[in-house]
Structure 1
Amino acid sequence: MNKGEHGTAQPIFCHECGLLLRASPLPEGATAKCPRCGAFLYRHRTNSIERSLSLLFGALILFVVAQTFPFMTLKMEGREQITVLLQGCLEFYRQGLWPLALLVFFATTAAPLAKMACSMWVLLPLYRGRQPRHGGRVFRLAQALRPWAMMEVYLLGVFVAYVKLIDMATLQLDTGLFAFCLLILVMSWADSALEPAEVWERLKPSTPVPPPPQPAQGQQLVGCHACDLVAPVSSGHTCCPRCGAALHVRKVDSLARTWALVLTAVILYVPANLFPVMTVISFGSGEPDTILSGVKALIAAGMWPLAILVFVASITVPMLKLLGLSFLLISVQRRSSWRRRDRTRLYRIIEGVGRWSMIDIFMISILVALVKLGAIATIEPGVGATSFAAVVVTTMLASMAFDPRLIWDAAVQERKPA
C-alpha cells in the first residue's frame, strides 16, 4: 500500500479479506490496494468534494430534462408514438405488472435522484465549511444506492430495443434521450471525482491510533463496512459512531442468508426461462417470446453481436452468478484454503456484473412503451419478465449478503494453536 511522507497513519480494515492495515496519505492520483487480496481501499483526489458537487448540479439539470422531454418517437404505417422515460413504468403498471413498474422506476429514476440528492445534502454544507445534519447516515444511504442506480444498464437496453425495431419502423431519438446519455456521463464523472474517504474524514475524522492499534480489555477492533472507521467494540449490537451503521466482525448469518437467496434465485430461474417475457402482436397475431427464443430470433435476423450480448447478459451471467456463489459458499463451509486471492477476485466479479442482467427488463419496458399502435402492432410483457427480474434482484442481494472475509478466515484458524 502506498504511503505518503507526512501525516498520521490511520487503521483501516480490508472489507474483502479482513486484513488490518495502516492508511497513510497518498500522492495525487495514487490508489491504495490491499496487499493480500488486491481489493481497492482508497485513493487521493484533490478538491474531490468541490469538483463532484459542481458536476452533481449539472447532473440534476440533465435529470430534469431527461425526465420531462420526449425520449424516443416511433413511426409506423402512418402512426406515431412518442414516449418519455417513465412511459415504460406506466405501461407495466397498467398491464398489472406493478412489481416490474416499481423496479424499473426505482432503478432508472428514484435511485439516481435519491443518490444525487443525498450526495448534495452532504457535500454542499461541507463545501461551505459546515457540518450537514445527519451527514453520516445520509452519505451512507447515497453510497448504498449506487449499485441500484442502473441508468447505464438502461441505456444499453435502449440500444438493444433500437436495433430490434429499426428494421420494422422509423425511430427518432429525441431530446430526452440525449440528455439521458449526458446525464450518465456527468454522474459517472462525479462518482470518479469524489473520494468517499475524504467526505468521511470531514464528517468525523478518525482518531489517530499508534500502530498496532490495541483495543481495551474485553473489546475487539471492528471496521465499519460503510465508512471504514475502525472502532473498538464489546460484545452485542453496536453502531458506528460516525455513520450509524451496525458494526459486526462478520456479516450476521452470512452463509445462511446467501444460501437462502441463491436457492430462491434457482427456483425463480426456471419460470424466468420457460414462460414468455413478452408477446409481439402484429395485425392481430403474434407469438410469445422467451429469453432464449428472443436470442434465436436475433440470430435468424443476422444480428449476431446483439444476440451474443443478450445471451451473455440474460442467460450466461445469472447462471454463472448462481454457480459462482454456490462454489464460494461450499468452499467456505469446507474451510478450503485453496487459491483464496482468486476466490476473492471471483466474488468481486460476481458482485460487479450482476446488475447488467437487467438489460432484458429495460429493453421490454422500452418496447412496451414504444410499440403501442393498436391493431397494427403492440408488445405486451409476459409473466416470465417478472420472474427474471426477481432472479436479477435476488442474485444481487445474495452477493451483498455473502461476506468474502470468510474465505480468509480459514487461514487465520490454521495459524491458531491447537
Structure 2
Amino acid sequence: MGSIFQSPRVVKAEGVPYFTPANNGGAALHPEDPSTPTLFRPLRIRDVTLKNRIMVAPMCTYSTESDPDSPAVGALTDFHIAHLGHFAAKGAGLVIIEASAVQPNGRISPNDSGIWQEGTDSEQIKGLRRVVDFAHSQGAKVGIQLAHAGRKASTVAPWLSSQGKRSSIKADESVGGWPSNVVGPSGGEENIWAPGDIKYWPPRELSTAEVEEVVRAFGRSAKLAIQAGVDIIEIHAAHGYLLHEFLSPVTNRRTDRYGGSFENRTRILREVVAAIRAAIPTGTPLFLRISATEWLEEQPVAAQTGSWDMPSSIQLAKLLPELQVDLLDVSSGGNHKDQKLQPHTNYQIDLAGELRKAIRGAGQTTLVGAVGLITEADVARNIVQGADEAQATEALLAGQEPKADAVLMARQFLREPEWVYNAAKKLNVPISVAWQFARGVL
C-alpha cells in the first residue's frame, strides 16, 4: 500500500466535515510495471484521471422522496451515501450515480433521483454533494447519468410492481405519478411500450418547443451536477428512454426537424451534447450510453419502419469526436417488446468490440466502455488488455485486440461490493486498500 502518513499522524480526507483517512483503495502500487494488467492502470480522460478502469455502472434504486410538493423530491439521501460510498471505499475507479432526471416528468418512477432544482442550497444539490464528497474522500471519481424516461415514465418502483406479478404498474397521481404528462417523440396509444398493454401510460407527443426545452434541461442539469462536484457527466440515450426513442425510427414518427432522416432523428442528441458541453468545464469528460442495437433486425416492426442497429451506432460513433464525447458506453435493447436477444457473457462485449474497431479504423480515439454480465476478474482483464498505449503493441503481437477501454459493472457490485479487491488478488496485482478495511483484505 502507498503511505498516507505524515510523521505519526494519519492524514484526514479533505472535503468532508467528519474524520476519515484519505483513502485511495484499488490503485495499483506499481502501475507502470509491465506485469500490471491494463485493468489496473490509470485512465486519463481530459482533466480527470481514474486510478483503474473499473467503473460502477448506473443502477436505479428508486429510493428518493416521491412527494412532488416536498423540497427533497428526487434528492439523494443517506442511503445513497451508504450504497454508492461503499463501492468508492472498496476501490472502484469511477462510481456513476443512477439515472437522474433532468425534468420532473423524466423520472421512471416517483421515487427516482433528479437534478433539476436550481440553487446551490437545493435539496437535490445538497444530497448529490454529500455523495460526491464522500466518494472523493475514498479516492474515487464520481459520474452522474443524466436522463429522461420519455414514454417509460410514471411507473411505480419495480419491487412494488412485482407484488402484482407484473413487470411494471402505472403510477397515478395518488402515488405521485404524472399520467397526463408522460411524453415521447410520438404520441398516442400506438406508442405505448407495448400497444394495448396496461403497464404503461400512453405518451403525448412533445411539441417542437418542448423538445428544445428538454435540450436546455440537460444543459442546466449538467451545470448543477458540476456545482455539486461531479467529475464526469454521462448522457443516457439507451434502453428505450426518451433520447433513444428519438434515435429510433421504431418510436420516432415525427415530421418536424427532429424526425425522419438519421440526421433529424439524431438532432436532439447532438443538441443535448452541445448544451452540456457549453455548460461544463472543457476538462470535464462526457460519456454517452447507447443501445448499440435494438435486437429487432429480423422482426416485422423493423421491416415496416427500420430500427436502430449496429450500422446506425457506427455512424453515430464516428460523429462523437466532433461532438466532443469522450467515451461511448455500449449497451443494447430496451425499446420494443419484440426484441430478440439471448444474453450471454459476451453479447454486449462483442458489440463494444465491434464499435471500438470501427472507431479506431476511422482513425478516431473515442474511448469505449463495455457493460453487461461482466462478473469475473479474468474476463474484465481480457476485455481491456492492451487498451493502454504502453501495452498496445504487446497485445497486438499476442493477437489480443482490446474490446473496450474500460469495464462497467452493476449487479456484480451488488453481489460483491469488494469486487475490485478480489479481482486484484486473483490477478496478483498489489493495490492500495482503504485503511479501515486493511485487516480483512491484506
TM-score (norm 1): 0.28
Look at both structures and tell me which one has the larger radius of gyration over its CA atoms: 1
If asked which structure has higher relative contact order (CA below 8 Å, sep 6+), I would say: 1
1 or 2, which has the higher helix percentage?
Answer: 1
